[in-house]
Amino acid sequence: MTTSHSQVLILGAASDIGIAIAREYAKAGHSLVLAARNVSRLETNAEDIRIRYRVSVSTLEWDVLSANGGAPDILVLSNLPDIVICVVGLLGDQAASERDAQTAEHVMRANYVGPALVLGELANRLEERGSGCIIGISSVAGDRGRASNYIYGAAKAGFTAFLSGLRNRLACKGVHVLTVKPGFVKTRMTAGMPLPKLLTAEPSEVAQAVLAAASRRKDVVYVRPIWRWIMLIICAIPERVFKKMRI
């Protein structure tokens, strides 16, 4: 459902990608509920969107790391949204995650456990209503485990599988589920990383891809199509060879 009168709930809206998606949906005429752990970080952008696009924008304090992915906090909304977009993500530090179980758990909960729990609760309500759209921002890192980021990649792989199963479950229930795989994105989270220009999207590019893919009711979208072919090649490399590559 993507009419100009839809209400869009964005989870993790304080991120660069979250704000870009909020602007893109507001530009299309949608009202917004922006949810994030630190609401104060949202207020300036929320007010700018209200003025610039003349749409309703409300904010909600929400923490994906709280019990049940913060589902109880989200379910206090007076109106069930038409579109739910989960932009939550934490890259973390692979070396630190290898050394400390709590650090690894934090990355796993932020990228998979929390998002899956809250989207599962929202999915149940959308299924009861018989309409809606759930959009999850996953990652190409989940397509195959790599030595350089397998904690983050494993969490995103779990999230991708969760979205795939949810899509299958809700296919005949009037609820569309979209998985988005951005690849590298130029954000605060990747600041300082030597990102290849050809493979790196801007947050606004991700936002445009999300809106277009949801409108066309796609199941999975790679923001830059080249990533689909890159990951096909990476996934096709025999394990005995892959172990020697250390990528």
Query: What are the residue boundaries of the structural domains of the chain, listed by start?
Result: 7-245
SS (H, E, C) 87-130: CCCCCCCHHHHHHCHHHHHHHHHHHHHHHHHHHHHHHHHHHHHC
**Catalytic site residues?**
152
For the segment(s) 7-245, the CATH number from 3.30.870.10, 3.30.56.10, 3.40.50.720, 3.40.50.150 is 3.40.50.720
- Three state DSSP letters for 16-39: HHHHHHHHHHHHCCCEEEEEECCC
pLDDT value for 3: 43
193 pLDDT more than 90: no
Structure tokens at 60: 């909600």
What pTM does this model have? 0.93
Residues facing 142 on adjacent strands: none
Whether the predicted pLDDT of 178 surpasses 90: yes
Query: So what's the pLDDT on residue 148?
Result: 92
The percent of residues above 90 in pLDDT, for the chain, comes to 83
Q: Per-residue pLDDT tens for 204-240?
A: 999 999 999 999 999 999 999 999 999 999 999 999 9
Confidence at residue 73, expressed as pLDDT on a 0 to 100 scale? 83
pLDDT of res. 98: 94
Query: CA separation (Å) from 130 to 155, 176, 191, 235?
Result: 29, 10, 41, 36
CA-to-CA dists, residue 89 to 16, 110, 135, 145, 150, angstroms:
11, 6, 14, 17, 15
Per-residue model confidence as pLDDT tens digits over 2-51? 444 699 999 999 999 999 999 999 999 999 999 999 888 899 999 999 99
What's the whole-number average pLDDT of the chain? Answer: 93
Nearest to 59 by CA among 80, 86, 38, 28: 38
The least confident of 1-15, 74-88, 148-162 is 1-15
- Quick one: pLDDT at residue 2? 42
What pLDDT sits at residue 1? 40
The arithmetic mean of pLDDT across residues 69-80, rounded, is 85
Report H helices in the chain: 16-27, 40-53, 71-74, 94-99, 101-108, 114-129, 150-170, 203-215, 226-236, 239-245
pLDDT of residue 233: 96
